[in-house]
Every structure is written in C-alpha cells, then in structure tokens.
Amino acid sequence: MARLTTHSTVDLDVATAAAVAELAGTDAGFHRRLAEVLPVLHDLFTQLYGEREDGQEAFAAVVTAAAASWRERPADLKRLDEERSADPGWYLSEKMLGGVCYVDRYAGSLRGIRDRIPYFQELGLTYLHLMPLFAAPEGNNDGGYAVSSYRAVDDRLGTMEDLAALSADLREAGISLVVDFIFNHTSNEHEWAQKAIAGEPGYEDFYLIFPDRTMPDRYEETVREIFPDDHPGSFVQLPDGRWIWATFYHFQWDLNYANPAVFAAMAGEMLFLANQGVEVLRMDAVAFIWKRLGTACESLPEAHLLLRAFNQVLTLGAPSVLFKSEAIVHPDEVITYISPEECQLSYNPLQMALGWEALATRDGRLLQKALDERHALPAGTAWVNYVRSHDDIGWTFADEDAATLGIDGYSHRRFLNDFYVGRFDGTFSRGVPFQENPKTGDARIAGTTASLAGVEAGDPGGEDRVILAHALALSTGGIPLLYLGDELGQLNDYTYRDDPAHADDSRWVHRPAADAEAFGARHDPSTVAGRIHARLTALIEARRRTPEFADIPLTPFHTPHPSVVGFQRLGAAGSVLVLANVGDDAVTIDAVTLSGFHGTAIDVVDGTAADLSDGLELPAHGFRWLRVQPA
C-alpha cells in the first residue's frame, strides 16, 4: 500500500483517480461537488493519516462509498438537497422549533410517533430529535447510547423501514428528523467490537486495546474520570486480562480514529442514515474522539479535522444533512466545534446551565455576562437553546467569568448542586444528583423542568419559572428545543429506582413516560398542564411572528438590577427588547434606563401597549418581549 500524497493536485493521487473512475452512473451535480470536495477531503485525510500505509486505501474507499450512496439516495431526498442548496440558512428562521423525546417513553414505537405528528404540528415543531433508537444491549445501555448496530432499529420500536417511512411523513409535515450519531464508541456487543477482541484481521485496531496496565496507567495520568460510579479511570478489563478504552460506561468501547479504516466504516454508517431521511445528525461526545498520550484526550486538533472530513463526505453523498455538536466542555472549547465546516448547529450548554444558576441565585449577572460575551457565533451557524435535555445538568460555566463577579467557581458549583438536590435550606428544587464523585465533590443534576423549577415542591413561583426559562430559550436566537412533556409540566418519575436496568442511572428520573392525563388536560386552565401549555404555546406563536428572533445578533441591554437579564434583537423595522427577572421580587426598570426608546412599546406576545416613559415593572420571575423604536 502507498501513503497519501501531499500533492496540491489530487488527480496525481493514483488511488483517488481509481476511485473517481468508479463513479460511472453519478450525475453532473455529484461531479461538481466532487471537484470541490476532493481537494479538501484529500488534505484532511493527509493531515490525519498521511503517515499510515493504509491511508490512501481508506481515502479511496470513502470516496467510492459516497458515490454509491448518492446513486442510491431516494429521489425525494435529492429534491430536499436541491431545496436546501437554494435556501442554505433554512434552520436560522424564527419559525424553527425543536422537540426531543424517547420513542418508547413518548409514543411506544416509531408508528406511535407517526400518530403524534398532528400534535407536533399543533405545537409548531419543525425539528424532531428522537433519542437513540438503534439496536443496543439489553438492560442498562446508557439510554441507547451504547449502539450494537447503526443499521438496525431496536426491534421493540420498529424497523429501519419504519424509520424511513416516519422521516417521509415528518418531512411532508415540515418537520426535520434528527437522530444521534454515537460515533465516539460502540457497545461491546457491536460486530466490530466482537471481531476486535477476537483478533480478526482488519478489526484488531478498531478499538484501543492494551495487553496490560502499562499504557492505560500512562494515559490516565492526564485523562479525567467521567463515570466514577461505573468504573474507575478510562479503561475496563476484558475477560482475557487485556484492557480496553471505555470513557463512559464499561460497555461503551471507544473507537480508534487513528485507524483510517474506522473513519471509512463510520462514514458508511453516516451515509446510510442520511439515506433513511435523517436531516440532522447529533454528533455525540465530539470532544472525546481522538486520543493522544500526555493530553486530556479532549478537544484535540484531530477531533476538528475528523468533523470536517465527515462533513465533506456528506457534502458528496447527502449535501443537505447538518451536524449538531454535543460538547459539554469549557465554553471556550464548545465554540471551537461550531462552524459551517464542522457543526452548523450546537447545543448551548452554557446558557442552559446559567439559566438554572440564575434561578437558584436570583442573580442574572453570570448569565448576562455569557450572553454579552459568549453568545455570538460564526455566520451560517446556530445555537440549539434548551432548558434541559435527556442528560444531566453540569455546571460548565467558565471559572474566569465567575471570578470577575467575585464568585469562586468550585464553591459555587457545590452550592448549585446542594440547591438543586434539596440540600440547601429553602430550595424550591426537587432534583436528584447524578454521578456524584465523593473524591472530588463533583456531581451533576437530574430532574424535569417542572420539578427543578419548583412545581413539584408546590412553590408559588414554580410555573412562572418554567415559562421564564423557556422564554429565554425562545428569544436568544437559534433553534429552541423542548423536551416533550415539559410543555405539560411533567414531574420527576421516581419509579426508575424499581427498574434494575435504570436504578443506577438517576437521569431516568427526568425521562418519564408520556402522561396521557396531562396531555388530555392541555386545554384545561384549571390544571398545571393546561396553564403551562397555554402560556408556552402563546410564546411559541409569538416567536413565529417575530422576525427579529431569526438569525440576528444579540445586542446586550443592561439595567441597574442584578436580577434582570436584558438584550435586544435588532431588526430592519426596529428591535425587540427582552427583559427577564430571575428574582423572587418585582423590580421596576426606571424611565432613564429606557430613555433610548420611544415612549410606547408593543408587547409581541399579547399585542398590548406599554408606556416606557413611566418605567416598566417586571414581576417576580416575569419577562417582557417588547417591540421598541429608538427615541
């Protein structure tokens, strides 16, 4: 085998020329994309695999797989590719709204999800993220994040044919299908994993396996422990005495992307899913996908090269598919994954965490600082803003930001953990700790929005906090994401403790089954579900008719009140001023602070007028979306 060349003209690469020769049957559009992609992809492969003898072979295999995938791509998806090419910023609209759920817990099966499409349309969804639905081990499988096959749906949910049919129905309803691409690791039951530990040629290097503790010990000098409740360190021992890398649970084995055959294999899985109608791939655990001795093995440069290379593969075979980054790391690292060349979308874990921080402290300054200084993104990209997800809440704010406000990061995280799990006197929250580490005092928080916000505790401000938290997610730009059931105020489900497969994972407390009674009461204002649903859907509808909430930069707006978070969304016809009071007491924004605006503003939620010349009162846990004009 020959190494990848470093020539600037890829036509000189014999393996590439051979791959191109196999492209008979592809159309002119593919060849145009090929001419653009091939030099970029070749360069990325050279940077990743230029020193490997098998790099050229894998490169040719990837290009050939993309061509084959394009030939097999259904006609309706090719039409979608054309539509998205004509409107590349489609996901930046103020009309975008995401929903996320587990298939089984929300609707029983993929066919059950199809039956819910009318409700999704009623709610205004344009984006539906179905939590991991692939074949996985029985029992604890990390909520499906231990994948045993990327080409088989868990048979309790349906089939891959059901998924493709669902994607078509969703597309007809104007809803994009989102699934997780768990590409850092597979389950220990995956075919590749079984072949690797058996030493089958071609697979022995798919994972990081070591004969003894020598290399694991050296790696663990600099690698942090992620799931201490499950196993110490980052390695688990195989029955034959060898050690294999497992960053997360012991049954999730990390893939070895230093092997180009792994990249080629995963590119094939990605293209397959794209041809089932998946429009957005949530790129799971992106920070962990490359390992290098002597480092933390997180957010290494090669991780970014891999994402760019995968993007180029999809540009060839499924050009309308987007990537969404899942990087729950320091804010400075989160931002590095977001670009048109890597992940066009990204979770916004900082805003999520600081939203809860602000509600606990009744102080919005740390959230305000994040919105002022860490919210801007490159053109053509967007945040996915969420109040909470299927996962835990980790306090990923920057210690240096906290220090500017006189806050010690370590002790503040301890306070937030205590507050949200009920260990702080007077707390309104009913959260549960997840993966609490007695050695470091670190923990994360689990709980539904309503239970964390005080509804479960009967706190009088609970419902208001639920709405306020979502009002921030809906107004800061990007795609707001609802965990389905939160719009009905669903509470924690403690029955997970009685299920052996879930008992050791407290995150199941906030993954309740759909509440049919609450769903049926969603239009009944005498119920919690009815009140929260009515208020939240009114906000969603207001957002849809407010173009300032589209892809427009956020402009800070400060008030003298520490409990008030403020910003403007500037538009062609004026701007929308957002003010949110995270405190337990009403505040009045004085007329001087608002003197830069014309005296009359219009509330975009209910259409009423507000007289700013006399100041503006914000109730406890209250907010306003006001269309204002400069004075």
- Which helix H or strand E contains 129, and what residues bound it? strand 127-130
CA triple 244-245-251, angle to 5 deg:
80
Pick the closest to residue 56 from 90, 9, 19 (CA basis).
19
The two structure tokens encoding residue 440: 């470091």
Q: Sort 458 into a burial class: Cβ within 10 Å, 0-12 / 13-18 / 19+.
A: exposed
- CA dist 107 and 286 (Å) reads 29
Contact between 336 and 317 under an 8 Å Cβ cutoff? The reply is no
In sequence order, the β-bridge partners of residue 178 are 129, 280
DSSP 27-93: -HHHHHHHHHHHHHHHHHHHHHHTT-TTHHHHHHHHHHHHHHHHHHS-HHHHHHHHHHHH-TTGGGS
Catalytic residues, by residue number, are 284, 326
Among 391, 451, 387, 441, smallest CA distance to 417 is for: 441
End-to-end CA distance of the chain: 71
Which CB contacts under 8 angstroms, 24+ apart, belong to 3-8?
3/50, 3/51, 3/52, 3/53, 3/55, 3/56, 4/42, 4/45, 4/46, 4/49, 4/50, 4/55, 4/56, 4/59, 5/46, 5/56, 6/46, 6/50, 8/39
